[in-house]
Amino acid sequence: MSANFIDSELSALKDAVAMALEYANSLGTSAAEVAISKQQGLSVSTRLKEVETVEFNKDGALGITLYRDGHKGSSSTSDLSPEAIRQAVKAADGIARYTSEDPASGLADSELMAKDFPDLDLYHPRHTSPEELAELAIRAEAAALDRDPRIKNSDGASANAHNSVKVYGNSHGFLQGYCSSRYSLSCVVIGAEENGDMQRDYDYGINRRFDALLSPEQVGIKAADKTVARLGARKLATGKMSVLFAPEVATGLVGHLVSAISGSSLYRKSSFLQDAIHTRIFPEWFSIAEQPHLKGALASANYDSEGVATRERDIVRDGILESYLLTSYSARKLGLVNTGHAGGIYNWTLADTGHSFDELVRSMSRGIIVTEVMGQGVNMVTGDYSRGAAGFYVEHGEIQFPVEEITIAGNLKQMYRSMQAVSSDRDLRSSIRTGAILLDEMKIAGN
């Protein structure tokens, strides 16, 4: 997707949103908001160094929501012709006339709209061909297959290039849009030993810039090394021991916090952190800072999906929960102030304790490193946590052997309070930027 194409699309989509808002206003609605996005991308997957699939996608749609005195109606269209947009607006208005009144519905307050729009360095267009992406995937597979004779097979590699443009406007006079790019490369391989034991693992890279991706050789070699390390995995005896969540798994552990403090969970009273604001839920040394304006980061934005300005904030400071995650609707339901979290979170960065991952391993007298979790055994109402896991058994600071088919169990409230350390080598491939997280003790169910 060329830069000129994106630039022309951004202008055209702004015109389409402005047209929809103008027509909604002419119908005498109380308020309206319109969001539109277009994506274009190329994905190539390979298996055993042969191209398996090439996919080109280009899609997008306009969604409009109208309000009539507390009544809400929504519709969408992928046809952006003037007549199709008018029909979508009329359909939304017709729906609004028949829905039940909801006093909490409506636009976010006008004074919360974003007014500053610094360049966040999110868009780095680069022409990529199927041949170029196929070469990257094949090189990743080749590096993995050549890494160790125990790597017997490949489950495939994939290289992807995607660009998008998004525009949002509402009847407060807010009308903004931005472009973004994302490139990724992944590889999955299978290892086997003579006794028939087989394991698979993967690695991946993702970045806004094509030239900042990990090299295919790095991705392939790491995928192979992780797979080989899992060979010979055993079960463990049931007991209690310390648990070190590897960075890529620690993001999920913190992700449960996102769900627990989101407004929709709170007003439905379905969170284990109900009424936890301004109370200590983590150790005193623990903090999470939200940084929406980090240049080039994967979860940066100047405003949320309601046009509300994003801002730096402490989610957790000195172990104390400082903020819920509220949209305009959930804030009204709870009688609180909108925090600008319609659409998700923005670059949560966990404070670390100055230890490397290896140092945390050496600090463990007896425990496991969790590198994979399975299943959906998390009760967000009670905080009870029970998931299948795999990883490595540690004794006296040394990895002894890989483990599999175990269950780790606890309660998230207690797990959060019992955090001992966060490593400084963060995984930056998601909206939660964290290193490994060490917990002093969890129940381990095995043999």
**DSSP assignments along 78-101, one per residue:** S--SHHHHHHHHHHHHHHHTTSPP
Confidence of residue 1 (pLDDT cuts 50, 70, 90): very low
Average pLDDT score over residue span 24-53: 96
Residue 4 above 60 pLDDT?
A: no
**SS3 for 71?**
strand
Cβ atoms of 200 and 190 within 8 Å: the answer is yes
pLDDT on residue 194? 75
pLDDT on residue 391? 97
Cβ atoms of 435 and 412 within 8 Å: the answer is no
Residue 293 above 70 pLDDT?
A: yes
Read off the pLDDT of residues 190-210 as tens digits, 9 standing for 90 and up: 999 878 789 999 999 999 999
Residues of the chain above pLDDT 90, percent:
95
Confidence of residue 3 (pLDDT cuts 50, 70, 90): very low
Angle, nearest 10°, between helix axes 130-147 and 216-230? 40
Task: Name the average pLDDT for the chain.
Answer: 95
Where does residue 134 rank: exposed (0-12), middle (13-18), buried (19+ CB within 10 A)?
buried
Cβ atoms of 355 and 421 within 8 Å: the answer is yes
Residue 410 above 50 pLDDT?
A: yes
**Start-to-end Cα distance in the chain:** 54
Confidence of residue 5 (pLDDT cuts 50, 70, 90): low
Confidence of residue 384 (pLDDT cuts 50, 70, 90): very high
pLDDT on residue 197? 86
Average pLDDT score over residue span 399-422: 97
Distance CA 144, CA 149 (A): 10
Read off the pLDDT of residues 176-195 as tens digits, 9 standing for 90 and up: 999 999 999 999 999 998 78
CA nearest to 285, candidates 321, 250, 318, 320? 318
Q: Read off the pTM.
A: 0.94
